[in-house]
Chains A and B, each alone.
Chain A
Amino acid sequence: MTQFEEQAWRLPRRARFSWLRPFLLVIMALVAILLQVYLPLFFQYLAYLEIPLLVTVYFSLMRRQPVVAVFYGAGIGLVQDSLSSNPLGMYGIVKTLVAYFAASVSQRFDVDNLTVRFLLGFFFFFFHQFFYWVLARALLGQALDFVAVQTLLFGLMNAAVAVPLFYLLDKL
């Protein structure tokens, strides 16, 4: 087993998120949603930057507690739903699933590794978009198109943003 694989599959002994106080969680979530609401006013292509998703993934990865992550993801998703034109629950369900899986994965991987962070950011963005598309078609009957190539490209963009964002959040 290589050094990377050893680092990647190393099991964490305890959660590293204990220092993160509850109010900071709320502030992070608010700032993430604010950026998603505000930045596309000036940079239209930044509407595809899912910062709330990245924050959810980060919290879930660092907290390593699926139950807490589920509620955190559900909360952020519901706030996102509130600011959208969709019925409440669409983003909530998707982000709940993302948070749960991220928290579950964090128990198997070394999430401090930059490559792992990049790959997880890319994977969870793709998963988030795909699952939202499935839910929109299945539950709401919306005829949305899923452009895989475009989603992959935006996944790369979000993954590229995730690495420095996670690093920044590490310093908080």
Chain B
Amino acid sequence: MEYLLSRYRNLAVLLVVIVAQLVLLAYQVKGNQEARLIRVWAVSGVMPLANLIEAVRGSTVGFLKNYLALLDVRSENQRLAKQVQKLALQNQYLKSELATADRARALGAFQTRTQSKTIAARIIGTGTGANSKVVFVDVGSSRGVTKGMAVITQDGIVGKVVASYPAASQIVLVTDPGFAAGVISQTNRVHGTLKGQGHSTCFIDHVQNEEKLVVGEWFYTSGDDRVFPKGLPVGQVRIARPGKFVQEIYLIPSGLQQGLEEVLIVIEGVHGSIPDNPETPQSLQLLPPPQPEPGADAGQPAGMRGSLTTDADRLAERYRKIGAAQGHVFGEGLPGSKPPDFNINPDAVAPALPKPASPPAAPKDPSLRR
């Protein structure tokens, strides 16, 4: 027996181990039970190490990623800076395009509103010379543009055509020293001659010292020069002071204040009128009148509540009520007819139906006379 065990010791051990595991296997399979203890040991021994490895791996990978990311920071920063610069230029270009579109839309609206026949033109170049205020537009004689035509925008006059070529026209601006145009003030109807000075301010000549003119007053084209139709805005007076012979009046032309990219060339001018109301600055926004406080306007006429009233307004309202109470229509009574009683209290008397101003005509039937 000992001989057998010593000779087949390895095989015996193998068989014992195999049989033991087979029993363990059979126990689990047949009894549907689990050797939980062995699993707990194995998992408890292996998984913390796996957790540790994962933590080390995560930290290492994170560190390497951050380090490698830092290696690219400089080049990425340069790339982003270039991208920002490119986007800024693109943004500027889009803003410019948007402003151009707005100006074109306003010019188009003005073109449909004005009575004069105009064509749109785009500024494509400027003239030479230090003080020369000359520009070129992209429409010329092929489109009907001739020398002497007025050039305007919705904000005011810009200049006039001094030369016309087939594909372009030369325009002298209102600020050019050689430019002149007849103008008239809005409020006091003072006539003068607008002259350019080579810079942004224009001079109005031939206004006598005796003529009344205030700073802020608007000048419009008078039509006297036979170039600009009457009624186009020119500009607002900035300086007005008495001179040696005539007043020294300076204004800034309104047509050039918003920049100059698109203009209208007046092909057939139609004279307009000088607007009576002062120009309201386009950027000024007026709020609606405030709501009256409760009971504050109880004594005011019903139709005038919420607005400013005068004694004359209140008196007219009283007369209207008196007339309504007695059926009298003002302005329709014949001479000699009885006037309404103006001493009654109109609030205490109920309004009566209006009586005809004259009695109805007597019937002409002869039978009724008897």
Which residues of chain B come closer than 8 Å to A83, judged between CB atoms? 39, 42-43, 46
What is the distance, in angstroms, from A51's C-beta to the closest C-beta of chain B? Answer: 13
Total A-B pairs, Cβ < 8 A: 80
Would you give the 0/1 interface string for A59-76, flagging 1 where the beta carbon is closer than 8 Å to chain B?
000000011001100100
Interface pair B38/A34, CB less than 8 Å apart? no
Q: Pick from A88-96, A112-120, A159-167 the stretch touching chain B.
A: A88-96
Asked whether B45 is an interface residue with its Cβ less than 8 Å from the other chain, the reply is: yes
The residues in A between 94 and 117 inclusive whose CB is less than 8 angstroms from any CB of B are: 96-97, 100, 103-104
What is the distance, in angstroms, from B199's C-beta to the closest C-beta of chain A? Answer: 76
The residues in B between 11 and 63 inclusive whose CB is less than 8 angstroms from any CB of A are: 13-14, 17-18, 21-22, 24-25, 28-29, 34-35, 38-39, 41-43, 45-46, 49-50, 53-54
Asked whether A148 is an interface residue with its Cβ less than 8 Å from the other chain, the reply is: no
Asked whether B241 is an interface residue with its Cβ less than 8 Å from the other chain, the reply is: no
The residues in B between 162 and 197 inclusive whose CB is less than 8 angstroms from any CB of A are: none
Size category, A interface:
20 to 34
Which residues of chain A come closer than 8 Å to B9, judged between CB atoms? 67
What is the distance, in angstroms, from A81's C-beta to the closest C-beta of chain B? Answer: 8
Which residues of chain A come closer than 8 Å to B258, judged between CB atoms? none
Interface pair B18/A87, CB less than 8 Å apart? no
* Residues of chain B at interface, number, CB under 8 A: 25
Known: A66-B14, A82-B41, A100-B14. A90 touches B46 (CB 8 A): no
Which residues of chain B come closer than 8 Å to A89, judged between CB atoms? 21-22, 24-25, 28
Asked whether A79 is an interface residue with its Cβ less than 8 Å from the other chain, the reply is: yes
Which residues of chain B come closer than 8 Å to A87, judged between CB atoms? 24-25, 28-29, 34
Which A residues have a C-beta under 8 Å from some C-beta of B?
A: 30, 33-34, 37-38, 66-67, 70-71, 74, 78-79, 82-83, 87-90, 92-93, 96-97, 100, 103-104, 139-140
Which B residues have a C-beta under 8 Å from some C-beta of A?
A: 9-10, 13-14, 17-18, 21-22, 24-25, 28-29, 34-35, 38-39, 41-43, 45-46, 49-50, 53-54
Apart from A38-B53, A66-B13, A96-B14: 4 A-B pairs, beta carbons within 8 A: A34-B50, A74-B21, A93-B22, A96-B17
